[in-house]
Structure 1
Amino acid sequence: MSLKVPKNPLEILTPILTSHPTPQALQHLHDLCDELLASDETFSVTFSKIPCPEGKNHLFTLKPHYWEIEPGKWEYRDGQRNPYCDLLGGQKQLEAMSRAVHTLSLGAVYLGAKDNEWQERCLTRIEHVLNVFFVDEDTQMTPEVWYAQCQPGENPARGNYAFVIAVRNILLVSQSLPLVQHKLSDTLVTQIKDWFKAQTEWMETSEQGKAVRAMNNHHTTWYHAVLASHLTCIDKKKGVSHANQFFHQEIKDHPDPFTFNQYSLGRARPRHSTLFALEPIFIMAALTYSSELEKPSKKIFNYLTDLVNWAKTVEPGDIERPLEEQGRFEAKLGWFERMLKRWSGEEVATIDPQGENLWEEGWKKRMKVTWGFL
């Protein structure tokens, strides 16, 4: 099969759609797990180079599109990310932790049965990573995200509705914990679920949570993707119910691709924004059912199909043309098309995409793994 080659590596958040991954995916997964097992690195928002001024245990991130044009004066530049924001480091720590837990969990489940000692090492590593990030008093992250996406230069620091973009990768943990929880310490599993409960309650009751729900755009979709993932981890029936209720309202509020993407079309990078909005809604679709034998309803499937087909018509903004001319947009669309094929019952290729140096040029190893789980 063919797949466009992006010359800038992509990282896409996707659900896991099959318990029968491709052989190539399992080999890549083993390699990634071995890399994590060979390291003793742990992750914490307290390791940030610039800790939160309100306390080191808080996730502290800044709105990335603001640039200081003179001392104390900041200018908004849509589509242009200020590298200064990356110096804070807390979000990168959260993302690295989430990927590590997700990868090791998949390894323990899909590779561990053939090597009990190797599986035990994966589980021990997961427990250590989770303890440092969520449990240890000195390094744990506070579940309430009051200081995510703060306005640069604002004093005191105050987060806003976009906090969910900063924390979105944490859904990898709430989606992978159920895979391995029966093999982990009962006490630890309870502590992690209590953390998710605290974050869920804060998301539902805080002013920032209310603000992102009122946005009614892709920030809102990401909010529900994180919330539904946490709820599914805590109580699967509640998670499934939340996901289905979301789609009932979403299709009513945004009945066609244009209304769904109105926010994206107004951005400096409309293609990027359009595809970014597809990630959480596909994650939500995978949370509307309880087992691999099921799939999204026909109504939801048709809705997603329309969104993907419409996305193909979106023209790039001037600021994103250099990337889009290298196949990045088409490459990412291939992931959503593969998920639709899986749900439609069509045959899904069980080999890696073919092409000279395809994976090496444009796909991170983790993406090679997730491709094989779709």
Structure 2
Amino acid sequence: MPVNYKFINDIFKNKALIIRNLMLLTLLAHSSITRAQNVNQDINTGAFQELEHKKSLIKTGDKKAVIAYQRLIEKADSLLTIEPFSVVHKTGVPPSNSKHDYMSIGPYWWPNPETENGLPYIRKDGEINPETRNNFTDFVEKKNFIDAIGELTEAYYLSDEKKYVHKGIELINVWFLDDATKMNPNVNYGQYVPGKSIGRCFGIIEFSGLKNITRFLQLAKSRNTLDKNTEKGMHQWFTDYSNWLQNSKLGKEAQTRENNHGTHYDLQLLDILWYLNQEDAVKEHLTTITKSRIFSQIEPDGSQPLELKRTKSFSYSTMNLHGFIKLVRLGEKVGVHLWSFQSEDGRSLKKAYQYMVPYLTKEKEWKYKQISSIKSSEGKLIEDLNYVSQTLKDYSFDHILAQLRQQNYSH
């Protein structure tokens, strides 16, 4: 009887196909398990740990916590009836002629008083031009959207009321995914300067609030209230946006910035890569680029020269450190302990906080330019020092925290 080679080949082809599909399913299952583990890790640490503490205080009837909770719920309830936010609502049109592209004007740039048409704009560091904070651009709409997601996240976590997560999902779909209203995954026209540029790398920092979005999605997924279409769509959007951050001209430029813009670039990118389950990429970046930033931005005495040059030097010094401490939090998730990194000549994050402490306690008077209030910056410093003590178990600032509590600076 002749051998049927076609039949044998078909068997091997089918067998190979089955094996390939099984391998693919195994990889997908592994990825899904790892993503779930990352989600659960985030739910049990960081901001959710803080929310859990708030929840316990509310349950025990802590007066201050209950009042704050009532205010939060009032705000969250008011958000349930708002119209969704979108980049297509702005009155201005980006150079691409697509309102789906995000657009903003550099906040410290003003019309030129020496030219008839005001062009090119001139810079006044630290002084915000009101023109940059209206509906001609997307800045205010974006801020309101991200703030709303943050409030809905907290209300959902503390109350367990699904109406808040449903509203959040609605807002996210309109901003990111719906064809008629979605934002394209780029910031090509962020912080443009009329008469000088159509977009600058500095616009990227305006999306540091994307952490609110990933946090909301993680919480919704952990409670099985995130629909598959939204989850899949947002995974793709963040994949596309992270590719833009890493490969576009502006993204590459932002990565090379030597001040707070570089720090917050790292924070934004790595938060997204963590959400996308790219743990190895997060580790690699932290141990190379972020480590290098710490040593290049902080002097052996703990000062940050590039931030001290600003007209709001205390605020910028604090903002940069607050970004670094968030990177420390992220590093702890992947086994990279940024807090312990120290250069041979003594540069470290701890040294930078030690530099700021005497000004926080008023033992020293800030000698650099500061044209605005530092109250919120002081609050950030205290928040960071509490994290260092409570989570990193470095108690070297505890006497400072006790002193600040006596001075009614407790946070």
- Tell me the TM-score normalised to structure 1 length: 0.77
2:153 counterpart (97, 100, 105): 105
In structure 2, the partner of 1:10 is none
In structure 1, the partner of 2:325 is 282
Q: Distance in 2 between matches of 1:258 and 1:152?
A: 40
Q: Do 2:191 and 2:200's aligned partners in 1 also have CA atoms closer than 8 Å?
A: yes
- Kindly provide the CA deviation profile for residues 250-294 of structure 1, in whole angstroms up to 9, marking residues without a partner as x: 344446466872211122221121112122111111111239xx8
CA 1:355/1:267 → structure 2, altered by over 3 Å: closer, same or farther? closer
Q: Tell me, yes or no, if structure 1 residue 303 matches structure 2 residue 371.
A: no
Give the CA deviation at 1:49: 3.7
Q: Say which is worse superposed, 203-212 or 330-339, in terms of deviation.
A: 330-339
Q: Distance in 2 between matches of 1:37 and 1:316?
A: 45
Q: Distance in 1 between matches of 2:215 and 2:370?
A: 35
CA 1:274/1:146 → structure 2, altered by over 3 Å: closer, same or farther? same
2:310 counterpart (267, 279, 286): 267
Count residues in correspondence.
Answer: 329
1:218 counterpart (260, 263, 267): 260
- Kindly provide the CA deviation profile for residues 112-165 of structure 1, in whole angstroms up to 9, marking residues without a partner as x: 1xxxxx2x21121111111111111121111111000111234xx621120222
Q: Do 1:30 and 1:111's aligned partners in 2 also have CA atoms closer than 8 Å?
A: no
Give the CA deviation at 1:303: 3.3
Q: Distance in 2 between matches of 1:240 and 1:231?
A: 7
3-state SS of 2:141 partner: helix
Q: Distance in 1 between matches of 2:407 and 2:240?
A: 46
Letter of the 1:149 counterpart: Q
Q: Distance in 2 between matches of 1:49 and 1:257?
A: 48
Letter of the 1:330 counterpart: E
Alignment of 1:3-42 (within 5 A): 16=47, 18-19=49-50, 20-22=52-54, 23=57, 24-25=64-65, 28-29=68-69, 31-39=71-79, 40-41=81-82, 42=84
Q: Say which is worse superposed, 179-188 or 329-338, in terms of deviation.
A: 329-338
Alignment of 1:133-144 (within 5 A): 133-144=175-186
3-state SS of 1:230 partner: helix
CA 1:189/1:183 → structure 2, altered by over 3 Å: closer, same or farther? same
In structure 1, the partner of 2:226 is 184
In structure 2, the partner of 1:82 is 129
Q: Distance in 2 between matches of 1:65 and 1:267?
A: 12
Q: Do 1:244 and 1:288's aligned partners in 2 also have CA atoms closer than 8 Å?
A: no
CA 1:176/1:341 → structure 2, altered by over 3 Å: closer, same or farther? farther
Q: Do 2:103 and 2:138's aligned partners in 1 also have CA atoms closer than 8 Å?
A: yes
Point out which structure has higher relative CO (alpha carbons under 8 A, 6+ apart). 1
Give the CA deviation at 1:312: 3.8
3-state SS of 2:194 partner: coil
Letter of the 2:78 counterpart: A
Letter of the 1:80 counterpart: E
CA 1:259/1:318 → structure 2, altered by over 3 Å: closer, same or farther? closer
Letter of the 1:82 counterpart: N
Letter of the 1:108 counterpart: Y
Q: Do 2:273 and 2:281's aligned partners in 1 also have CA atoms closer than 8 Å?
A: yes
Give the CA deviation at 1:299: 0.5
In structure 1, the partner of 2:43 is none
3-state SS of 1:21 partner: helix
Q: Tell me, yes or no, if structure 1 residue 234 matches structure 2 residue 276.
A: yes
Q: Distance in 2 between matches of 1:102 and 1:236?
A: 24
CA 1:48/1:223 → structure 2, altered by over 3 Å: closer, same or farther? same
CA 1:205/1:260 → structure 2, altered by over 3 Å: closer, same or farther? farther
Q: Distance in 2 between matches of 1:257 and 1:188?
A: 47
Give the CA deviation at 1:76: 1.4
- Kindly provide the CA deviation profile for residues 81-116 of structure 1, in whole angstroms up to 9, marking residues without a partner as x: 11111123412222222222233223323431xxxx
The gaps in structure 1 that reach 5 residues or longer are: 1-14, 113-117, 360-370
3-state SS of 2:110 partner: strand
3-state SS of 1:159 partner: coil
Larger radius of gyration: 2
In structure 2, the partner of 1:333 is 381
Name the % identity. Answer: 17
In structure 1, the partner of 2:85 is 43
Letter of the 1:336 counterpart: D
CA 1:222/1:29 → structure 2, altered by over 3 Å: closer, same or farther? farther
Give the CA deviation at 1:230: 0.6
Q: Tell me, yes or no, if structure 1 residue 146 matches structure 2 residue 178.
A: no
Q: Distance in 1 between matches of 2:239 and 2:147?
A: 21
CA 1:355/1:316 → structure 2, altered by over 3 Å: closer, same or farther? closer
Letter of the 1:103 counterpart: E
The gaps in structure 2 that reach 5 residues or longer are: 1-45, 58-63, 360-365
In structure 2, the partner of 1:11 is none
Give the CA deviation at 1:223: 0.4
Q: Do 2:301 and 2:351's aligned partners in 1 also have CA atoms closer than 8 Å?
A: no
3-state SS of 2:121 partner: strand
CA 1:355/1:256 → structure 2, altered by over 3 Å: closer, same or farther? closer
Q: Do 2:312 and 2:370's aligned partners in 1 also have CA atoms closer than 8 Å?
A: yes
2:214 counterpart (156, 164, 174): 174
CA 1:343/1:247 → structure 2, altered by over 3 Å: closer, same or farther? farther
Give the CA deviation at 1:32: 2.1
CA 1:295/1:144 → structure 2, altered by over 3 Å: closer, same or farther? closer
Q: Distance in 2 between matches of 1:215 and 1:298?
A: 21
Q: Distance in 2 between matches of 1:141 and 1:288?
A: 30
Give the CA deviation at 1:173: 1.2
3-state SS of 1:149 partner: strand
